[in-house]
């Protein structure tokens, strides 16, 4: 799927060393964007960046404000002004409410909610002052639907979803668009060893590239009149 307006734009993708994040980075690069891959794993992000033409890898702990600021400063020094941010990094603990611990709750909130906040904060002033930019936050169907299997994850993703809408309202008058993607039932490590195909009305798991294509659309000029939206990519999982 070819979209318009991503040529030569600098896009930062978090959690980009593997899975959906790597697919997003690769897809944006294929659309002509210059891509900065952020991940907490130094070797993995370096290896991933080498697989994408013109990409650069940067190490960041998105739960730590100083680490985020340092990483984004390094991106700007090496590659220029950031025009697109995709907050993809996330974790999940497959534990019920009774099984989960306080540490599980804190870790979910740190990565899935605070991490999104810190990375958005790192581009907020620059995008607002330049009156241009696009942010896409990867949330989840779990943010919209009760889940006994991973309530910590769902709550943290719901926080990211609400932040997405709040930022969209804040930045819309300044020419900056903020949207979200809510995937589910995607063939990644998250569902490894779990029999979930029967939950998909479309009869299969989604591909990381299908999420990446949706992200590329929202980052492109084709979506220039779209902000404050959460696009479901889930094979009909949330249909009533």
Q: Are 218 and 226 in contact (CB under 8 A)?
A: yes
Residue 146 has phi, psi (to 5 degrees) of: -60, 140
Supply the DSSP string of 17-81, one letter for each residue.
SSHHHHHHHHHHHHTT-EEEEEES-HHHHHHHHHTSTT-EEEE--TT-HHHHHHHHHHHHHHH--
Contacts of 2 (CB under 8 A, 6+ apart): 31
H or E element: which one contains 208? helix 208-219
CA–CA distance, 132 with 84 (Å, rounded to integer): 9
> Which residue among 72, 153, 217, 237 is the active-site one?
153
Contacts of 158 (CB under 8 A, 6+ apart): 139, 142, 143, 144
Burial (Cβ within 10 Å: 0-12, 13-18, ≥19) of residue 102? exposed
Q: Is 153 among the catalytic positions?
A: yes
Instruction: Please report how many Cα atoms fall inside a 13 Å half-sphere around the Cα of residue 232, on the Cβ side.
Output: 12
Indicate which residues carry an active-site annotation.
153
């Amino acid at each position: 799927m070819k979209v318009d307006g991503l040529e030569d734009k600098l896009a930062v993708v978090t959690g980009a060393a593997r899975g959906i994040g790597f697919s997003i980075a690769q897809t944006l690069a294929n659309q002509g964007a210059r891509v900065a891959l952020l991940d907490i794993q130094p070797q993995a992000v370096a290896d991933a960046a080498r697989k994408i033409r013109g990409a650069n890898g940067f190490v960041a702990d998105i739960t730590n404000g100083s680490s985020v600021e340092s990483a984004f400063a390094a991106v700007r020094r090496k590659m220029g002004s950031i025009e697109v941010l995709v907050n993809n990094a996330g974790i999940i603990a497959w534990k019920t409410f009774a099984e989960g611990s306080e540490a599980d709750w804190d870790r979910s909130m740190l990565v899935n909610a605070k991490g999104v906040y810190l990375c958005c904060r790192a581009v907020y002033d620059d995008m607002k002052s330049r009156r241009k930019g696009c942010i896409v936050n990867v949330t989840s169907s779990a943010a919209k639907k009760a889940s006994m299997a991973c309530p910590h994850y769902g709550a943290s993703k719901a926080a990211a979803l609400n932040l997405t809408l709040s930022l969209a309202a804040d930045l819309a008058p300044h020419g900056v668009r903020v949207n979200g993607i809510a995937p589910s039932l995607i063939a990644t490590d998250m569902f490894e060893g779990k029999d979930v195909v029967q939950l998909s009305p479309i009869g299969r798991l989604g591909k990381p590239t299908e999420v990446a294509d949706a992200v590329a659309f929202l980052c492109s000029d084709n979506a220039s009149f779209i902000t404050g939206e959460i696009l479901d990519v889930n094979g009909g999982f949330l249909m009533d």
